[in-house]
Every structure is written in C-alpha cells, then in structure tokens.
Structure 1
Amino acid sequence: MSAVEVVEEAIAAAERLDPVLHFLDELDAAAARAAAGRLQPDGLLAGVPFLIKSRTPPDAPLIARLVAAGAIPIGWSTRARPGAQSLTFGWNGADYTRNPWDLSRSPGGSTAGGAAAVAAGVVPLATGGDSGGSLRIPASFSGVIGFKGTHGRIPRPGGRPLGGLTTAGLIGADLDDVILATSIASGPHRLDPTALPPWPHRDVLEHPPTRNDRDKWSIGAQRTWRVAYRSTLGTCAAEVGVDAVVRERVARVGVELIDVPLELAPTDEAWGVLSDLDNGRGADAAAARRAREVRDFNNTALADLFAEVDALVTPTTLTVAHGYDQHEESIVTGDPCWVFNVTGHPAVSVPVGMSQGLPVGAQVVAPHGADDVALAVARRLLVELPLPPVH
C-alpha cells in the first residue's frame, strides 16, 4: 500500500470512530494527506500514521525524530482535563474519552486518546509522556503496550527536569513497533544533550528484524528469566481478578519465580514534591530533602532486589478500567506505576489477559539502563488480544 492509502485509512477510521470514542483533540487531515503525498519511502517508519498527545511542545524531539523517519501525524489525541480530581481520563473539551472495550469505561490516562485510538485500530502508534503512569495505565486499561524507558531514554524539549519524573514515550499495538519507534527517538538532542545514548545499537536500527525474526529485538530469547512478583507496591491491594490473571500468566511462561524481600518507602509525598519541582512550582527545602531520601532509599532497595532477579513483575493497575464518568472521584489504581517515575527505572505494560471482560496489563520493571531486559520479559508475558468491540 502507498503512504497515501495508509493515511487515508487512518483518517477515515478516525472520522468514523471519534464521535463514539472521543479520542481526538484535533484531526489534521489536510496536513497528513500533504505529508503522505510528498513522502520519500526510505525511512524506517515511512508512511506510518500516528497521533500526538495534545499539548506536546511542537519542538519535542520525539515528534521530530518520528517524522524524520517517515511517520505521519494525523492529529492530536486527548489527555486528562486540567484540574480534574483524577487524571485517568481523557477530555476533548466537550466529552470524555471512552474505552473501545466498553463505552461505559475510561481508557485510562493521561494519554487517554492515544490508547483508545491504538486499541481501536485507528493508528498503530501514539506518543505521550509518563510522569506517574500516563503511558502504562492507559495501555493496561485499553489492552495495548505502553513503554517508559529508563529516565532520559528519549530527549525532551525542556532538557533535564529538576524532579526527574517524566519520560517521553509511546503507546502501540505491537511491541516491536514500540521498540523501533523508541529506538529512533532515543539519543541526545540539542534541546536535551543530557539524554541517554542512542538505544539500541545502530546496527539493529539499520537492519531491523522481520516479523519472522522477532527474537533479534530481545536478548536471551531462550533464557529462563528470574522474576519477582508483587501484586501491589502500596497500601492498596489489587483486585482479586486482576491479581489472578497476572499471577497465572507469570506461572505459565517459563520464568523462574523467586521470592525476594522488597520494602519500599511510600512514594506519595515524594512524587508530589518532585512534580512541583518539574512544573516550576518550587518546594520547601525540607520536603525536597525528604523526597530525595525516598528516592535514594527505594533505588537501593530495588538494586538489592535486582541483584537477585532480572525483573520485577506487578499488575500495571490495581483494577480494570473504571467508569468514564468517575472523573471527580479520587481513584487509586496506578499505585504500581509512579514508584518507578520517582526512581527512573524502565517499565513496560503489556496485556496478559482479561478480567470482567476488560483487559489486564502486567508491568515489567528492570534495572536502570536494562530496558532490553524489561522488554524481553514482557515479550514472554504478552498475550495478543483480539480487537475490541468498537474498532
């Protein structure tokens, strides 16, 4: 198919499904058609349509590098409404974003529209950022993949933030697509020269694997991974059904389950302080010191854990997707996620099954810099779900 044909299909799907799912902040069909018409088909993502998370800075290196590789943005996806009590929702200015698995449910957030559009098959990729689970939570609710690399994996237009919570990243329908797009976007940039080196090695980018040769993306394809499992990392427990789905999948895929003690300091206060620093609100010196102590304590505890195991697996969210109309409630579902924004570890969410007719995601976390390990274990756990009812 030509790029024009692919983009026309994506635009048609967006126009057909957005009135039902409300995932678009803005569709830019004219610009997408023009880009497809002048495309030179030699980039690694030549002709691939994608959505940009709304309010992403126009100079974001993630967007520029995807476009330079031939990907074509068709518009901007919804995110959480400013000032909302809970951020696991999407808002287009008039209505809340719906989950294609159940129109009474939210697709998660804050990268809500991107997750809904990917799950519904409108686009294969959507961009976002993850400060407290904003890629992983909607990926879990919507039955797709969300990847937050080690902090600094993808450069950001503001450079290194004071608090260091946010990592730019992607939501996708296919793990290999997410890996390839992350690889293309990685590496230092003039706007963020402190970003991590390009990932993975350039020879992998120059010779990407075919669909029949997927293991080239994954180290230790035949290795038995040592894995620790925790159903929760906070004071709130996972739903019984969610915990059972993830536990059963871990038990079935041939990993070595190891019981290793893990005691983490509570993240709530530290995350809030670091978020204030990231967003220019400032912080009390004593509170900033306590946040640093929590980060250091948890980094040490996780280093001790990873000395015994290759990866930590948790449910991505404590619940399946909640109602789209619960946006003014204080909802606790993403507790397993924001711990790793404070510490900066790589974390990926992949679908591993269903509970109550809705997707369940497993989160895989690996040591700093070991993004490939997190992805390799996630590949073992991944279950390919059918398309949702709305697609």
Structure 2
Amino acid sequence: MTSRPSAVARALERIAQRDPALGAFIEVWPEEALAREPEARELPLRGMPFAVKGRTGIRSYAARRLIAAGGVPVGATSVPGPGTAWQTWGQGAHGRTVNPWRADRTPGGSSAGSAVAVAAGMVELATGSDGAGSVRIPAAWCGVFGLKTTNGLLPSPDASGLASAGVLARSAAVAEKYVRHVLPGYGEPAAPSLPLAALPLAAVYSEDLGFAEVDPEVADVVRAAVDRLVVAGTVRLVDAACVLLDPGRAWQAVRGGAAGDPEAVAVRRANDGRLDGLLAAAPLLLTPVTPNRPHGHEGPGDRYSTALTWAFNLSGHPAASVPAGFTGDGCPVGLQLVAARGADVSLLGMARAVENALPTVRP
C-alpha cells in the first residue's frame, strides 16, 4: 500500500506545478524542508508548511517562532524588484508575480508572493510585513485573509515604526496558528473564537474615512458585504462617522525620517484622537481595504491603493483584510477590519465571525 505524501511534499509538489505561471517564489528549499519535517511533526504545528516574505524573511521573529513550534518553511516569496517607484508588484524566480485571479493584474504588494502562494493553494499560511498596507492590500486583491498586527507588538527592522509584522492565510481560522505561536502573551483562555453572546458586534462603517475617492463598484461590493453581516446578526452598525485627515503627507514625512514635522504631528494627533474615541464606542471599524481594484502591471493609475490602509500604520492599530466579494470583471475585493491597539486576538475573533457570515461566492 502506497503511503500518502507528507504535507511538506504535497506543498512542494503544488509549488512546482503552479509557481512557473504565477511567480510567487524567489527561492524554494525542498531538501531543507523535507529534512526538517520529521522532527517538526512532533511539535504543535506538526510540520505545517509555510512561506516567508522575501529572502530575509527566514530570519524574522515570526519565522523563528513558527519554526520553533513545528512549522516548516518551504521557500521565500517575491517582493518588488529593485528600482520600483511604487511597491505593488513582485518579481519571482520565474518572472513577474501575477494575480491568480487575473494574470493581467497585479497581486498587490509588497507581500506579493506571500498572498499569491496562499491564494493559489501552494501553502496555507505565509509571513508578511505591512508598512502602508503591504499585507492587507495583496490579501484583498488575491482574495485571502491578511492581518497587520499592532505596531510595536512584534520586532520589526523598520526604524520609522510604520511597519508591523503580519500574516497572510487561507482564512482567519488558519491565521490563528500564527497568532497562537507568534504573538507574545497569547494564552489558551484568550482563544480568539467569539461566543455567540458577543454577537452582534457593534461596528462603525466608513466607505472613505472622510477623504478617499473610492471606485463605486468596490464601494458597492464592500457595502453589500456589510449589509449581509447586519442581516446575519454578526454586526450592528453604530450611527457614527469616521472622518480622518488624509494621512498621505504625514506618512511620507515619517517614512522620510521627519516624524517631528509639524504637519505630520498635527495629523497624527488629530487622527489618533478620533480613532480612539470611535473604537471606545464600538470595538470594530469597517472600511474597504483599497479604494481601487487590482490594477495592471504597468502602474497604479490615479488612485493610491494605500489610501485606506496607511492611516493605521501611522496610528498603530491592528487591521485585517477579509474577502468581501468580486467586482464584475472578476477582481477580489477586501473588507478591512480595524480594532483598538493591542486587541489583535479580539480582532482575529471578530474576523472569524465575519468570515463565517460571508461565504465566498466566486465568479
């Protein structure tokens, strides 16, 4: 009787079959992964194959924690190539990283390959990092779950403080494996599954955060998802507005090393106050992840894909992307969930409740 291939062997086979067309991986490590697997099976993650973002991802805190818990890294995923003025694509070993739903569109970035690897079923979990939306945008555009953790919660090499570690996964339930073994202070009693008594979740919905210009069809897809959450009893909308100041120039000042710039300080102070007040009244803020759908490989067009995400890199709040549906041309759209700083475990629980009420209807 022929034994079934191991989880790592199956993941490596899928990568070999699918990655030449998708360009999700820079490097694949078959010998190392298969050698590591027997010992890893005796640990809590039982040899779960996962991918890491970029060549340096294997040295990240998250990767080290996953390996210690019995995860097996199978390869490094693509990030933007050198010299790109906009960070929304990837360059893999087989060429340009393409969106698995539409090869003529970008998967988003900069965690491009991680999102594609998960969306195409090559792995069920991959590490990422998010300095302006680099986990949430590719998660939204590839139709998978993505979580940016609270800024400063996990070690980050980014001196500006804008970038935070994150995870891309097939679902929020799968992402719990990352949270359980990577987030400090996570304990079994604080498991992120929500009791039914906690529903409906009080939430504020904002289409544009008070300043962004959103593609009408993207807005319609997200609003329809929010309406389904209300009908399902998962969410109760609170009558409150989320009106922030456009964080673009402030983000750029901080990124450029001018965190003390008066305009940046004023924008951060104003937005922090508004968000803290809002999330004190309701534990959840809902928005589209991006104001646009996945664009072509030639460039981002008129709308910054970061318009609705980088405010939360400045403020430090944890934020997640949950699949909301598809535009008429077959592009995935993400629903962004934002929670109070440090409420990462609760946010994951809320994301699981949202996912349960939003079964994926694929085109």
Judge same fold: TM > 0.5, yes or no: yes
Letter in 1 for 2:341: H
User: Could you tell me how far apart the structure 2 residues matched to 1:220 and 1:296 are?
Assistant: 35
User: Could you tell me how far apart the structure 1 residues matched to 2:4 and 2:361 are?
Assistant: 26
Structure 1: runs of 5 or more not aligned? 188-197, 205-215, 278-282
Determine if the alignment matches structure 1 residue 143 to structure 2 residue 143: yes
Letter in 2 for 1:276: G
Match of 1:9 in 2: 10
1:93: how far off?
6.3
1:131-179 per-residue CA deviation (whole Å, 9 max, x = no partner) reads 00000000000000000121123233x4xx5531111111000212212
Match of 1:270 in 2: 250
Mapped contact 2:19–2:94 kept (Cα < 8 A): no
Determine if the alignment matches structure 1 residue 332 to structure 2 residue 304: yes
1:239-261 per-residue CA deviation (whole Å, 9 max, x = no partner) reads 22211121112122221112213
Determine if the alignment matches structure 1 residue 231 to structure 2 residue 214: no
Match of 1:98 in 2: 98
Q: Which moved more, 1:25-34 or 1:378-387?
A: 378-387
Aligned-pair Cα RMSD in Å: 2.4
Residue among 221, 227, 237 paired with 1:245: 221
User: Could you tell me how far apart the structure 2 residues matched to 1:163 and 1:380 are?
Assistant: 33
Match of 1:342 in 2: 314
Letter in 2 for 1:268: G
SS of residue in 1 equivalent to 2:92? coil
SS of residue in 2 equivalent to 1:169? strand
Match of 2:123 in 1: 123
Match of 1:371 in 2: 344
Residue among 176, 179, 193 paired with 1:179: 176
Structure 2: runs of 5 or more not aligned? none
Mapped contact 1:139–1:146 kept (Cα < 8 A): yes
1:26-66 per-residue CA deviation (whole Å, 9 max, x = no partner) reads 11111111112x42423221211111111435532111110
1:210-233 per-residue CA deviation (whole Å, 9 max, x = no partner) reads xxxxxx532343322111111112
SS of residue in 2 equivalent to 1:114? helix
Letter in 2 for 1:232: D
User: Could you tell me how far apart the structure 1 residues matched to 2:269 and 2:315 are?
Assistant: 8
Mapped contact 2:179–2:345 kept (Cα < 8 A): no
User: Could you tell me how far apart the structure 2 residues matched to 1:305 and 1:131 are?
Assistant: 23
Counting only pairs closer than 5 Å after superposition, residues 37-52 of structure 1 correspond to structure 2 as 38-52=38-52
Q: Which moved more, 1:121-130 or 1:80-89?
A: 80-89
Aligned length: 354
User: Could you tell me how far apart the structure 2 residues matched to 1:370 and 1:105 are?
Assistant: 34
Mapped contact 1:176–1:217 kept (Cα < 8 A): no
Match of 1:294 in 2: 267
Determine if the alignment matches structure 1 residue 164 to structure 2 residue 140: no
User: Could you tell me how far apart the structure 1 residues matched to 2:109 and 2:4 are?
Assistant: 30
User: Could you tell me how far apart the structure 2 residues matched to 1:93 and 1:292 are?
Assistant: 41
1:292: how far off?
2.8
User: Could you tell me how far apart the structure 2 residues matched to 1:125 and 1:243 are?
Assistant: 28
SS of residue in 1 equivalent to 2:91? coil
1:4: how far off?
6.2
Letter in 1 for 2:138: P
1:251-292 per-residue CA deviation (whole Å, 9 max, x = no partner) reads 222211122133322211211122233xxxxx3x752x4323
Q: 1:203 to 1:311 in 2, by over 3 A?
A: closer
Q: 1:2 to 1:373 in 2, by over 3 A?
A: farther
Q: 1:273 to 1:2 in 2, by over 3 A?
A: farther
Q: Which moved more, 1:307-316 or 1:367-376?
A: 367-376
**Normalized against structure 2, the TM-score is what?**
0.90
Mapped contact 2:146–2:320 kept (Cα < 8 A): yes
User: Could you tell me how far apart the structure 1 residues matched to 2:340 and 2:150 are?
Assistant: 9
User: Could you tell me how far apart the structure 1 residues matched to 2:48 and 2:362 are?
Assistant: 19
Match of 2:277 in 1: 304
